[in-house]
Amino acid sequence: MSVNIDDLRIFLAVCKTRSITQAAVACNTSSSTVSRRVKALEKDLGIKLIQKYGSAIRITPDGATFKSTAKQIVNKLEFSIEQLSCKRSRLKGVIKLGISHTFARHLCTHVIPRIIEDQPEIDIQIITINPALTYTMGDFDILITPMEIQDQSLIARKLVTLKRYFVASKQYLAANGGSPKNPYQLRNYTGIDNASSRHHGVEANCSWTTEDGKDGHCQVICRMSVDSFDLAATLTEQGAGISLLPAGSIRLLSPDKCSVLFNGTAYNEQTVYIAYRDKEYITERLRYTISELFNFIDDMPELRRLTEEEIQNYCL
């Protein structure tokens, strides 16, 4: 079975407009061509994608499921082509990035210097923001947030999923009866709530996943709240309580002062999203910047988790 990429684009246009006529306009073709190409795609896949009711269009359950796959295929191809194109051209203009403090630190260390060297005429403005306020785009060109985007007019894609480990200072543990033996004993300790988490406000209902695939949760008293993983890391090292921290923030801590609890086998996963406006508003410099952000994630597996050696270093 071979699927024509243009057929996928046409099908996505039909999904978006719910109209054969409007999809034809969007794809710069005729209504008969749209109908013919959708039928050809249905034949190739062996499923029914749309149902016609007069001039109205309904996407079938199979069509709705395939829509997600089609979008991923088209987006991946377009970004690959755009990346190659951008590498051959000189780009100009301003890019405004809205991002949490912790992730901004990683970008300024690893991504921004590369973009400046490769495209020196792009002006980058980085605005650090409270993640709890990142449900909408605001005045940004690109938004990087741990919150699920509610604005349906935006394109939101998963950028990375981070492991967050339970961390405490050795001073705090010594003053509070030693390390918990299992995650359920966290209820006997004080936690640090974090607005950088999509669970902000319910962090006291602490949840975790273990390496063997088991989930759990318990109530934890949180007397302090912050809006940055790095702030949480600083307070953790000062003995304010137990916090959930990603690998990048843990590496700021001294292994002599802090411990990763449960040997890193219990953790909480947090997804970080990248959001931007519909592709009709995307400039070449924006495509290039988005591409570089995904390259950055692919090139840095250590951003996602601690290595076994690092975990052991913090567990001594």
Judge contact between 194 and 236, C-beta under 8 A: no
| pLDDT at site 83 | 60
| pLDDT at site 203 | 45
DSSP labels, 271-311: EEEEEEE-GGG--HHHHHHHHHHHHHHHH-GGGTS--HHHH
For the chain, which residues score pLDDT lower than 70? Answer: 1, 78-89, 131-136, 195-205, 279-281, 316
247-to-11, 269, 312, 316 alpha-carbon distances in Å:
41, 11, 13, 17
Report the alpha-carbon distance of residue 130 to residue 133 in Å, rounded. Answer: 6
Task: Tell me the helix, strand and coil percentages in the chain, rounded to 5.
Answer: 45, 25, 30
* SS3 (DSSP) at 111: helix
Which H or E run includes 76? helix 61-87
| pLDDT at site 200 | 42
Max Cα-Cα span within the chain: 75
Nearest to 273 by CA among 16, 83, 99: 99
Pair of tokens at residue 98: 């809205």
Judge contact between 176 and 182, C-beta under 8 A: no
* Residue 248 CB partners (closer than 8 Å, separation 6+): 102, 105, 106, 229, 303
Nearest to 99 by CA among 150, 137, 63, 155: 137
- Crossing angle of helices 284-299 and 61-87, rounded to 10°: 100
User: What is the separation of C-alpha 42 from the centre of its chain, rounded to a whole number of angstroms?
Assistant: 32
Which H or E run includes 71? helix 61-87
Pair of tokens at residue 292: 């570089």
Report the alpha-carbon distance of residue 208 to residue 262 in Å, rounded. Answer: 12
